[in-house]
Chains A and B, each alone.
Chain A
Amino acid sequence: MRAPIQIVKWATKELVEAELFDEVTIEHFLEAQKEWRPVVIAAARQMVQAGANRESIPRHWHWDWSSKEADLRILAFSFFGITVQDKLQGLMKLETVGWSGRIASQKGKPLAYVDYLETAPWNIKLLMQPLGRSPEFRAIGTRLIEAGVRRSLEEGFKGRLALHSLSGSERFYLDVCGMTAVGRDPAKQDLLWCEFTPGQAEKFLNEGAA
């Protein structure tokens, strides 16, 4: 699947043509490691040196997409990427087996689980500020979550989707996407389990992020 989408240029709020795809390869993982990781680490280092609050320092500096190469051949996992002029702007790993709803009305019903979602660091204001740069694009995360909801619909999950949110992203999933905060998960570093019901997912797709 390759589909044209639109994201937003941070500085001017202009719409920018981008491409969403699910034919992710090891080359994309290597690009993320080579192009993204040094920027995330540099920003984290600057934040530490500036005495930033520990909670605000990015917790994904150690992520390694290339370690997920073997997962590319597994049907239970889907990967999505977004590029602008062939430059990778975001990646997501979605699991479509083994997860079910935790909201009382959705208990036992299968859902798509976002295992990893990462936006290129130059699109994250929090990371660009310590480096004295302005972010480039916004709406990458929104477009990836939309892709996850659509895959959930294709799988017959009625749009149900969930994830464990890093602390710095909770407001995005709850306030911008409109997911429900179900509770902290002690089995997953106390991260917050955020979930879309079918109704919330439909609203998110139809009305867009808040």
Chain B
Amino acid sequence: MNTKRTMTLNLTHQEMRVLEELSNQKDLSKTAILRQALRLYQLVEVKLSEGGKLFFEDQKKEKAELMVL
């Protein structure tokens, strides 16, 4: 693995609550959740930059394109 660098992250109470919820749901540490988020964000950005589109499909099999900023 590459050498790791440390950063301090300030979160609101609400953001921290969501992070803790995700941490519990996914059986992952809060750090691992944030690393997952970074990986996912980059993956989506790369796919969109290559002309890909991101969709969510609901239970009726209807698709809605997701806008990513």
Whether B39 pairs with A96 at a CB distance below 8 angstroms is: yes
Contacts of B42 in A (CB 8 A): 74-76
Contacts of A74 in B (CB 8 A): 39, 42-43, 46
- Whether A156 is near chain B, meaning CB under 8 Å from some CB there, is yes
A186 to nearest B CB, angstroms? Answer: 15
Cα distance A98–B38 when bound, in Å?
A: 12
For A, the interface residue count at a CB cutoff of 8 angstroms equals: 18
- Whether A207 is near chain B, meaning CB under 8 Å from some CB there, is no
Whether A76 pairs with B43 at a CB distance below 8 angstroms is: yes
- Whether A108 is near chain B, meaning CB under 8 Å from some CB there, is yes
- Whether B63 is near chain A, meaning CB under 8 Å from some CB there, is no
Whether A98 pairs with B26 at a CB distance below 8 angstroms is: no
- Whether A154 is near chain B, meaning CB under 8 Å from some CB there, is yes
Q: Smallest CB-CB separation from A22: which chain B residue?
A: B1
Q: List CB contacts (< 8 Å) of B1-54 with chain A.
A: 1, 25-29, 31-32, 35-36, 38-40, 42-43, 46, 50
Whether B26 pairs with A110 at a CB distance below 8 angstroms is: yes
Whether A97 pairs with B27 at a CB distance below 8 angstroms is: no
Contacts of B27 in A (CB 8 A): 109-110, 158
Whether A108 pairs with B43 at a CB distance below 8 angstroms is: no
Q: Smallest CB-CB separation from A73: which chain B residue?
A: B46
Cα distance A97–B36 when bound, in Å?
A: 6
B31 to nearest A CB, angstroms? Answer: 8
Cα distance A76–B43 when bound, in Å?
A: 7
A17 to nearest B CB, angstroms? Answer: 22
Q: Smallest CB-CB separation from B36: which chain A residue?
A: A97
Cα distance A157–B26 when bound, in Å?
A: 9
22 A-B pairs whose Cβ atoms sit less than 8 Å apart in the complex: A70-B50, A74-B39, A74-B42, A74-B43, A76-B39, A76-B43, A96-B36, A97-B36, A97-B39, A97-B40, A97-B43, A98-B40, A98-B43, A108-B25, A108-B26, A109-B26, A110-B26, A155-B36, A156-B29, A157-B28, A157-B32, A158-B27
- The residues of A with any CB-CB pair to B shorter than 8 Å are 1, 22, 70, 73-76, 96-98, 108-110, 154-158
- The residues of B with any CB-CB pair to A shorter than 8 Å are 1, 25-29, 31-32, 35-36, 38-40, 42-43, 46, 50
